Chains A and B, each alone.
Chain A
Amino acid sequence: MPGPNLLERQLLFVTGKGGVGKTTIAAALALLASQHGKRTLVGEVDAKGNLADFFEVDKTDFKPREIAPDLFAMSMHTEESLKEYLRLQLKVPLVARIGPLARTFDFVAQAAPGVKEVLTVGKFLWEVRERHYDLVVVDAAATGHVVAQLAAPSSIRELVKVGMVRDQTGWMLDILGDPSRTGAIAVASPEEMPVNETIELAGRIERETNVDLAAVVVNRVLPELFGRTEEACFDDLRQPARVGALEAAAGPGVAPVLDAAELAVRLRRTRAGHLSRLREGLASGTNLLYVPELFTRHHGVRATQLVAEALGQELGF
């Protein structure tokens, strides 16, 4: 029963196919943790992302900022991360950090595989190692690129045989590979493509990284409208004579309401099928969390709060 201790870990990478609500879940998890007294950092790996919108605060920066009690937010900037890395970890003298070396490094980071990713993942790992926070939640790359991100320290280790960068990957791998400290969370929605990608991703995380898949969060699960007896009753209501009777009683707008109910039932049924496919496709024992479709008006701090509450229920808070 790994569910309850999800927030006991120190580092969570949240990923998922584009459009399923990856950032929503990352933001909500961080909010939930901070509201339960954990000093929490939430960081997005994409500087052009919109994490700030989920809390309705000013744009986040590389330097973490407290946006709510115990909740800090930041965005990754590879260049800034490189400067910090050179300064704090490699203790490279200032002159080399600002001259052509830094620029060349930036260039190498663009070109050489894993360098950019290791700067990204490394920054969060560093925050964990230094115990600046109780929990670091990363709004990580989408399914297509997250494996490269999580595997970056190992790729670097393969490519760089000696030198200080290689030495640095040791402690990174230690933290990444420790399931009591680090976990990946895959966000899915109960739709065809997201389910396929999630199953594939779970396999790749298992095979190609040493990070533990802590949970799969299924977002936007539609509520079940009817049970079996109710469904028979609903089917009867759709008979022309019954529709007429209902119109006489509830007004002329009945037909669209019935159409909408039918749409909801069919959507729910299609999604339920994908959901069971997801359950079958994942390794047994995978921790599944469900967040209902919330029919919210807008995305923003209110929606984030609602998702946090839904997640809190799933986690037994």
Chain B
Amino acid sequence: MPARRRDEALGSLERLFAAKEIVIHCGSGGVGKTTTAAAAAAEAAIHLGGKVLVLTVDPARRLANALGLEQFGNVETRVPAEAFSSAGVEPRGELYAAMLDTKQSWDDLIRRHAPDAKTRDAILANPLYQNLMGRFVQSHDYIAMERLYDIHSAGTYDLIVVDTPPTRNAIDFLEAPARMADFFSSRFLRWLTVPARSRVLNAASRPFYTIADRILGSQFLEDIAEFFLLFQSMYAGFVKRANAVTRVLGDRRTTFVVVSTLESAPVREAQYFISELRSRELHLGAVVLNKVLPGYLLDREATESAQRMCGEADVLAGKLADEHDPAVLERVLCEIGNSFLNFQVVANREAEVRAELSSIPDVVANVPYFDTDIYDLAGLIRLGDKIWR
């Protein structure tokens, strides 16, 4: 089914993607960010051409399979041409996919920034580091942005489509680079590393160590100190990178696509995120609304018919008598009517929310409620076609 062409003045995802180099999909968990990002990236590869990369944080095997890959790796892999041809399309460009492996990416980063092999090995072996990068929640946010920067600045791709980690607070990842820079320039960090530098404690930090020793034990403190001391050797590099990452997010070649369903919690998150983008002067390119119920649920005549099917089921069943048991027919008519009215309640609520959200950006794209799962590239493209033009 061809998608309806939108008013030219309103813009489209097609136009947006053609003008940008980085498209960051964000929104709360479970709204379909990853799928939307992959579908839009596939459309970009098909229609715009060039080398398109979809960078995902979601390790879902299904999506990997949909793209014709065994699984996602931390390195970029080309989606095989056969996946497109079996979906019946001839793409103008090439589509690549990669998954963000937090631990692997951190290791790569350390290898790149460590001043020498000894420091590198010491950091990679430090127990605190191993725990920190695997479990430290915010490290996902930072590394995602860092990796994005890295790929973008290598100049390999025309377009990079990213979906963001499922943070509860969608803005966390925006702040991650700045926070990382703060972190490494912190006064406390220098404090912590004092004992490793010299055993002579100054008067200001002595009470801290006395109590911290009692609470945490000196071994832990030493582990921390060693870790941060090692990290400090990379301080300048980190801060520089973090600043560069922040700059890329604000660059005019970068845009944000906010993805949401029409349920109240994701919508609230989306609205919050939109206002944050504005206050940071970041570019909001589009809002994509997922799982939108079909418009016919709001049809007035249908409402009347549904009400009659419930209220006068017995009469209608009598009029329609056929080989089926009239009691069964009556039950079916009533169920059908009821089901319509049930879904209508939700559809009405959604329509109101959609009107509210639509007043914000230039581009609003609706993804209909798919009643089956997407398991191949053809499915992704079917979804993409709904939002592309």
Q: Are B299 and A253 in contact (CB under 8 A)?
A: yes
Hey, which chain B residues are within 8 Å of A111, CB to CB? 132, 136, 183, 224, 228
Residue of A nearest to B375 (CB): A192
Hey, which chain B residues are within 8 Å of A122, CB to CB? none
Chain A CB within 8 A of B292 CB: no
Q: When the two chains form the complex, which single residue of B137, B264, B336 contacts A298, counting CB atoms closer than 8 Å?
A: B264
Q: Are A256 and B297 in contact (CB under 8 A)?
A: yes
Residue of B nearest to A194 (CB): B30
Chain A CB within 8 A of B191 CB: yes
Please, what's the 1-or-0 string for A68-102, where 1 marks a CB less than 8 Å from any CB in chain B?
Answer: 00000000000000000000001010001001110
> With A20-B30, A144-B166, A298-B349 as given contacts, are A232 and B324 in contact (CB-CB < 8 Å)?
yes
Chain A CB within 8 A of B305 CB: yes
The smallest beta-carbon distance between B320 and chain A, in angstroms, is 6
Q: Are B131 and A226 in contact (CB under 8 A)?
A: no
Total count of chain B residues near the partner, CB < 8 A: 86
> With A19-B28, A233-B324, A245-B320 as given contacts, are A261 and B215 in contact (CB-CB < 8 Å)?
no
Q: Are A225 and B339 in contact (CB under 8 A)?
A: yes
Give CA–CA (A226, B331) in the complex, Å. 9
Chain A CB within 8 A of B281 CB: no
Total count of chain A residues near the partner, CB < 8 A: 78
Hey, which chain A residues are within 8 Å of B223, CB to CB? 159
> With A92-B211, A258-B336, A270-B372 as given contacts, are A264 and B216 in contact (CB-CB < 8 Å)?
no
Q: Are A254 and B220 in contact (CB under 8 A)?
A: no
Chain B CB within 8 A of A249 CB: yes
Chain B CB within 8 A of A178 CB: no
Q: Are B208 and A250 in contact (CB under 8 A)?
A: no
Q: When the two chains form the complex, which single residue of A230, A251, A261, A266 contacts B308, counting CB atoms closer than 8 Å?
A: A251
B→A interface (CB under 8 Å): 28-31, 60, 62, 127-128, 131-132, 134-138, 165-166, 168-169, 183, 186, 188-189, 191-192, 204, 207-208, 211-220, 223-224, 228, 261, 263-266, 268, 294, 296-297, 299-306, 308-309, 312, 315-316, 319-320, 322, 324-325, 328-329, 331-332, 335-337, 339-340, 342-343, 345-346, 349, 369, 371-373
Q: Given A141-B168, A267-B371, output 19 extra A-B contacts at Cβ < 8 Å.
A: A99-B207, A101-B208, A107-B188, A108-B224, A111-B132, A144-B166, A161-B219, A192-B373, A225-B339, A226-B332, A229-B324, A230-B328, A230-B335, A233-B329, A246-B320, A253-B300, A260-B302, A261-B339, A264-B339
The 8 closest A-B pairs by CB, nearest first: A18-B29, A19-B30, A163-B217, A253-B301, A253-B302, A162-B217, A253-B305, A256-B296
